[in-house]
Amino acid sequence: MDHGKTSRTFVSPQAKIEYLGSLEKVTRRLPGAMAALHQSRARSRLPRTTRLRADDGKYAPALEFTARSALQVITADPIAGGYGFIHEAAGEFAYELKAARNSGAGCGLGILEYVD
């Protein structure tokens, strides 16, 4: 996290990620030939909402992202064999930062990458 000239790193016990709900449909799957080979992955289990919260006692950022649609990119793995599924979810986010001297909040549009 960067806040002005201050940079913070949070370690596992200080941060938590939650996945809630389910995005019903992947809007587009690429490339088409690979998508045709993997019909079983057409309805991937993608989270509808992702929440990130952290707190180190001085800084406490929180972010919530809600997906509206997603693109699935299917890639072959030439080293390990098999395939990878990368999802680019488009949606809205809202954030809040509680800090020792400054606090803030905001919202906007964003992309969340989800790999399975």
Residue 104 lies in a domain: yes
What is the overall mean pLDDT for the chain? 85
How many Å apart are CA 55 and CA 98, to the nearest integer?
Answer: 9
Residue 85 lies in a domain: yes
Residue 83 lies in a domain: yes
- The parent domain of residue 34 ranges over 19-47+56-115
Number of domains in the chain: 1
Examine the pLDDT at 113 and tell me if it is beyond 60. yes
Examine the pLDDT at 3 and tell me if it is beyond 70. no
pLDDT of residue 67: 94
Examine the pLDDT at 1 and tell me if it is beyond 60. no
Model confidence pLDDT, tens digit, residues 47-70: 999 999 999 988 899 999 999 998
How many Å apart are CA 31 and CA 8, to the nearest integer?
Answer: 38
Residues 29, 30, 35, 36, Cα dihedral to 10°: 110
Examine the pLDDT at 2 and tell me if it is beyond 70. no
Residue 93 lies in a domain: yes
Look up residue 87 and give its two tokens: 């999802």
